[in-house]
Structure 1
Amino acid sequence: MNTSKNTKDKMTNYRWTICAMLFFATTVNYLDRQVLSLTWKDFIAPEFHWTDADYGDITAIFSIVYAISNLFAGRFIDWMGTRKGYIWAIGVWSLGACLHALCGWATEHVVGIHDAAEMISATGAVASTIAITSVYFFIAARVILSIGEAGNFPAAIKVTAEYFPKKDRAFSTSIFNAGATVGALVAPVTIPSLARYFQGLGIGNGWEMAFIVIGALGFIWMGMWLFMYKKPHDNPKVNAVELAYIEQDKQAEQDLQPTSSKEEKKLSFLQCLKYRQAWAFALGKFTTDGVWWFFLFWTPAYISDVYGFSSDSSTAQILIFVLYAITMLSIYGGKLPTIIINKTGLNPYAARMRAMFIFALFPLLALFAQPLGSYSYWFPIIIIGIAGAAHQSWSANIYSVVGDMFPKSAVATIIGFGGMAGGVGAFIINKSSGMLFTYADETQMTFMGFQGKPAGYFIIFCICAVSYLIGWFIIKALVPKYKPIVVD
């Protein structure tokens, strides 16, 4: 009898199983996003005659469509709920990922060319036509991918708000957000090798099957999610003790507002925009998201352009693997606010802002990435890894700020609004980078002792270095103190 009672009273930990599912979804999300960046320089560009500007246009349009889609994805997730909404999101982006594989066939059909070898050997006006046509097809596939991927973070943050109390949200967010790092970590050691393997088998030019294999992972996740996810109070795998732990903030809120026993009122999108807290989150994302996306999309090209290592070379794979292995340190970034709260008694917002200021200092090292890179390519790789870890730690905390301040019914909407702002920032930096690198290469531009593309990279690194401090001061100016939104 006592054993049975103790078993019943022992808290289940199903919330961490759900967190693991969010982690795997985010990993797949970033794997799908990385296939293009790891294959374009060495597999796709020679076939379609792309320039840096072409690639910059594709990534920029992906970013802006992702931005706009975030605006609607948040509302969609709030409307559909996390179970169905997540299924739709990952289904659409997995389809978009797989559709990239058809871009070569579609280009051949439109241009009237029979195979990849004929496209590679094309010159003059034909080569230009191939480039333009293929870019349009890749943009179309990228648009579908971006529409689906926009749903990942609004859904994941909403699930976190449903399954974790406020004090644990930054840590749980940092865990699932580490999926972005793991996806970026696994990608360089698998995707170029997959492309080269299928190229050796004579299946297309190799890169096509890389998109299909990675894209198929999302469909596997969908089946698992359907069977595993229910809201905490409906989930038989969550016992009463765990449910009480998950909902501990409800009691605290009732103690503060004993009269608020009615159902939580939903905020419209326009109502959300009336709050400075929403704009603080959005501007914080705008100033910093582009930095991560720049490192994600351009690091393989940087290694190739500046140091001459192709994406499928063992050196490039080791460099990128080490870079993202360093970013795994970000998993501890979600712990820092909890440590600060326990030691100082500060409220969650104040603790997060203190932690975020610390994280904002590390990207300043990017100012030295290019100068130190003259001595060894390991210096910029290590510095970018540290900056990436700081970004992911920053990201876990800025996401958690939304759950701290907004009611659950508005969380996905605000996350979507901030995601849109972050996507706009990413659009600007990706578009500008592609144009800058092409210009720097053609004119052999000089900057601070560097010439050509290295000069262009140095300029972007300097912008990345200061972005987080700018974002922190904007957030602090708009929301100097903890002020949760109370809906009347």
Structure 2
Amino acid sequence: MKPTRVRYGMLFLVFVNVVINYLDRANLSVAATTMSGDLQLSPAQLGWVFSAFGWSYALLQIPGGLIADRFSPRILYAFCLVTWSLVTVGQGFVRGFTALFGLRLATGAFEAPSYPMNNRIVTSWFPDNERASAIALYVSGQFIGLAFLTPVLTMIQVNAGWKGLFIATGGIGVVWGVLWYLLYRDPLDHSTVNAAELAHIESGGGLFRKKEPQPGQTSMRPGHAWQWANVKQVFASRTLWGVFIGQFAVNGSLWFFLTWFPTYLVKYRGLDFIKSGYLASVPFLAACAGLLLSGFISDRLVRQGTSVEVARKTPIISGLLLSMSIIGANYTNDTTLIIFFLALAFFGSGMALISWVFVSILSPKNLIGLTGGVFNFMGNLASIVVPIVIGYLAKDGDFKPALVFIGVLGLLGASSYILLVGKIRRQ
């Protein structure tokens, strides 16, 4: 029997989730230049507002991973999509710093389980030798969506104001949350997947069968009750610490582009607001290209028999080193060269974003959601630190130290993979 290809349809649904997820993270960056004037926010206050999402999002990653292990992605994702989208709508009605900061905290809280759920879904639906490509495809949603929709968001703000921007992006998420619930199913619950596809997934390392809970255990999907020893097991691994630090570095670059990038172009480089919306698309397209190239090359190397260490680590290390090229923008006033250096750096960051594959490869089999939560927690500490640090570094009107800071993070991440991540094996 020829295997069906239902898994790619489920992957497309995750891809759309990621697009909406990142629209509701990045809409603030588009609104910031006008919004900060209307609400009288200083650069330092703007940095804190940019970081607010990260405080709750990062701190709730471990609980989010545990929740992702326990509840069906169909129900949990629908709940998260609708709630964070309603909070996004609410941001269109704020009148000051405190309300905006609080609603961004709420957005991060409701989005917290999303990436652990993405990883659980891909681990359930895809065998090991297709997983880096699958991760690259759904993660590319954050870049493809922002690349093509940033000009759209810019035009919405021009015509409807920053309030209309938040209402529009939030309303889209509410509608999609309902559609997700209607369309998504796990492998064993999907009516059109055949036995050959299930066998293909499972024989290749896909994990979709529930285990019966042992006496004294809860009915969590992996068959494990909550234990602090599980958290200790994840944090005790030097190899996992290597990928955790690397993910912090990758996300450092990402969160510059998700927060300060449009403000950098308009306020610190003097570009027209509408023009900046189109130019801002270029680095996102470059990051998407880097991500897809890295994912497909990495999977191809695995299928050709290249060691996992080389196939998975080389694109990530190369990408992190390439992300240091962002510093080159400090040495030119030519708009084309500025965008070139930023796009080249984000291309490298995109290459490194297949790092989620290490959660599937390295996690203890019964702790995939928890490990994904810790991984995302450590990585998204950058969403707290980077916007605030940039706000203070740029408070005197000079953005050059901020770009050096982002470049140094790339070196830190590459060093972590080189020095800490050893032999690739399940912990």
TM-score (norm 1): 0.79
Larger radius of gyration: 1
Q: Does residue 63 of structure 1 match 2:18?
A: no
> How far is the alpha carbon of 1:158 from its aligned partner?
0.9
Structure 1 counterpart of 2:135, from 154, 165, 173: 173
Q: Does residue 337 of structure 1 match 2:320?
A: no
Unmatched 5+ stretches in structure 1: 1-8, 105-133, 199-205, 253-262, 442-452
Aligned pairs, number: 409
- 2:287 maps to a residue whose letter is T
- 2:286 maps to a residue whose letter is I
**1:197-224 deviation digits (Å, cap 9, x = unpaired):** 12xxxxxxx2112111111111222222
**1:104-162 deviation digits (Å, cap 9, x = unpaired):** 3xxxxxxxxxxxxxxxxxxxxxxxxxxxxx11010111011111222221111110000
Distance between the aligned counterparts of 1:251 and 1:90, measured in 2? 26
Distance between the aligned counterparts of 2:365 and 2:346, measured in 1? 29
Structure 1 counterpart of 2:271, from 301, 306, 309: 309
User: Cα gap change, 1:265/1:351 in structure 2, threshold over 3 Å: closer, same or farther?
Assistant: farther
Q: Does residue 319 of structure 1 match 2:276?
A: no
- 1:472 maps to a residue whose letter is A
Are the aligned partners of 2:135 and 2:295 in contact in 1 as well (CA < 8 Å)? yes
**1:19-418 correspondence runs (5 A):** 19-41=11-33, 43-104=34-95, 134-198=96-160, 206-250=161-205, 266=224, 268-311=230-273, 313=274, 315-329=275-289, 330-343=291-304, 345-372=305-332, 374=333, 376-396=334-354, 398-418=355-375
Alignment correspondent of 2:214: none
> How far is the alpha carbon of 1:365 from its aligned partner?
1.5
- 2:377 maps to a residue whose letter is M
Distance between the aligned counterparts of 1:227 and 1:210, measured in 2? 27
Are the aligned partners of 1:44 and 1:207 in contact in 2 as well (CA < 8 Å)? yes
Distance between the aligned counterparts of 2:206 and 2:60, measured in 1? 35
Are the aligned partners of 2:246 and 2:416 in contact in 1 as well (CA < 8 Å)? yes
Are the aligned partners of 1:91 and 1:148 in contact in 2 as well (CA < 8 Å)? no
TM-score (norm 2): 0.90
Identity level (%): 22
> How far is the alpha carbon of 1:80 from its aligned partner?
1.3
Structure 2 counterpart of 1:465, from 407, 415, 423: 407
Distance between the aligned counterparts of 2:196 and 2:364, measured in 1? 23
> How far is the alpha carbon of 1:163 from its aligned partner?
0.4
In angstroms, what is the RMSD of aligned CA positions?
2.1
Are the aligned partners of 2:361 and 2:425 in contact in 1 as well (CA < 8 Å)? no
User: Cα gap change, 1:14/1:69 in structure 2, threshold over 3 Å: closer, same or farther?
Assistant: same
Alignment correspondent of 1:446: none
Distance between the aligned counterparts of 1:274 and 1:306, measured in 2? 43
**1:42-62 deviation digits (Å, cap 9, x = unpaired):** x21221111211110111222
Are the aligned partners of 2:240 and 2:362 in contact in 1 as well (CA < 8 Å)? no
Alignment correspondent of 1:427: 384
Distance between the aligned counterparts of 1:250 and 1:47, measured in 2? 53
> How far is the alpha carbon of 1:100 from its aligned partner?
0.1
Distance between the aligned counterparts of 1:429 and 1:223, measured in 2? 34
User: Cα gap change, 1:349/1:430 in structure 2, threshold over 3 Å: closer, same or farther?
Assistant: same
